[in-house]
Amino acid sequence: MTSSQKIREKQKKYIFDAVKNYYKEPIVVSTAKGSIVKDLDGKSYLDFFGGILTVSIGHANEEVNSAVIAQISDLTHISSLYPSIPVVELAERLVNLAPKNLNKVFLNATGTEADETAVMLAQLYTGNTEILALRHGYSGRSMLAQSLTAHAPWRAIPTQIASVKHAMAPYCYRCPLKLSPKNCGTACATDVEELIQTTTTGKIAGILVEPIMGVGGFITPPKEYFSIVADIVRKYGGIFISDEVQTGFGRTGKTWGIEHYGVEPDMITVAKGIANGFPLAAVISTKEIADSLEKNTISTFGGNPVSCASANATIDIIKRDNLAENAKNMGRRLMNGIKKIQKKYPKTIGDVRGKGLMVGIELVKDETIKDREPDLDSTNRIMEETKKRGLLIGRGGLYGNSLRIAPALNIGSDEIDEALQIINDSFREL
């Protein structure tokens, strides 16, 4: 049998060094079922990151696997040049799930493609070219996505798209204006108007935002933020695009993350949890916006029948089992547990935030004296300690000091409690 060490050596030899791996000694994943991942050495881990919020209903879900196997037996690939049953059925499901004004779907293979498509459509529909995004946001690895991303550790090249402008992030714990949430008047939101007036032509295509900023460390805006921003953006001719790549399909306790903020978007982009691990993404828009794309277009792998079959089964299970409600309830249990741990370690745990099964923990030098210097040493140690005890979690944030916890939507209370115990025990080692 091939050893983990041999695979790690081959990884180092053949894969780009820039490809990020977790842990001093990365685990070599061999098999996975439900919320359990096993490495090549036979050790089991409770997976609370799910392939970056992608394995939404657990690894190797039998219903999803059955749908995929059946589809492979009939049709593996055909491209968007021809309609097929799983593709059309998925589009119908997405429209039925989407906010009521969104009724047209364009399928892609990745979240990056979906965000790019949404920006292009915003430009075509409005006739304007300038697009707003948020600092601390992440959109992917393409040329445009890199320009939309405002997160230096993930920016390989300087901004190439001059029409992208970045607004202040609604990062209350590290307010860019050094204000308190109690008296700020959501100043970061109202500043969007000055951003438009001073850095654009005064006419914009729109804004692309994550309801909760994933790679940014699960930054969770105040409830008033997006309604203020949407009104400003629309005042200057733009449309509102909700990037639901991480927050969609019940992750936050509602079908869409933007629902928490009372804003009806003009477009949403989706990926990750849509197909339980199969590559798939989509843009869902109004018919009017969709019709602004008058030139021919295709997508070779967007809407692959196998990925669509997986998505159809995944969505059916999420809906049938009311997993958004489970995410809400289990998320509350998880959040309450983390806040209890925060009370035990008030020096190190600076902030706990998120919604549903999307919980972030930011670690700092000494919150008791408001020393919020990112504590990378403690973050690294917690990552290693949780791994040692059999729990996989994520990390993120501009400074790399935010833990990201996001188990499958069908996670149970026993698994939540097990994870909380491991996290508590890991902090005890600091």
DSSP string, 109-125: SSHHHHHHHHHHHHHHH
- pLDDT (mean) for 240-261: 98
For residue 116, give every residue at least 6 positions away whose Cβ sits within 8 Å of its Cβ, in sequence order, or none. Answer: 140, 142, 144, 145
> What is the pTM assigned to this prediction?
0.96
**E strand or H helix at 210, and its extent?**
none
pLDDT in tens, 272-328: 999 999 999 999 999 999 999 999 998 999 889 999 999 999 999 999 999 999 999
CA distance 230 to 238: 9
Q: Is the pLDDT reported for residue 261 higher than 80? A: yes
Count the residues in the chain.
Answer: 430
**Structural domains in the chain plus CATH codes:** 4-61+322-428 (3.90.1150.10), 75-320 (3.40.640.10)
Tell me whether residue 310 is exposed, middle or buried, using C-beta atoms within 10 angstroms of its C-beta: 0 to 12, 13 to 18, 19 or more.
buried
Q: Is the pLDDT reported for residue 383 higher than 90? A: yes
CA distance 328 to 21: 30
Which amino acid, residue 176? P
Q: Is the pLDDT reported for residue 1 higher than 80? A: no
Biggest alpha carbon–alpha carbon distance for the chain: 63
Helix 413-428 and helix 376-388, axial crossing angle in degrees, nearest 10: 130
Among the listed ranges 57-71, 136-150, 254-268, 325-339, which one has the minimum average pLDDT value? 136-150
Q: Is the pLDDT reported for residue 256 higher than 80? A: yes
- Please report the pLDDT score of residue 158 as a whole number: 86
Which tokens is 42 given? 């036979």
- pLDDT (mean) for 109-133: 97
- Please report the pLDDT score of residue 162 as a whole number: 85
Confidence bin at 40 (pLDDT 50/70/90): very high
CA distance 86 to 69: 13
Which amino acid, residue 403? L
Q: Over the chain, what is the mean pLDDT?
A: 96
For residue 369, give every residue at least 6 positions away whose Cβ sits within 8 Å of its Cβ, in sequence order, or none. Answer: none
- With b for 16 or more beta-carbon neighbours within 10 A and e for fewer, the 217-234 pattern comes to bbbbbeeebbebbbebbe
Could you tell me if 428 and 421 are in contact, meaning their C-beta atoms sit under 8 angstroms apart? no
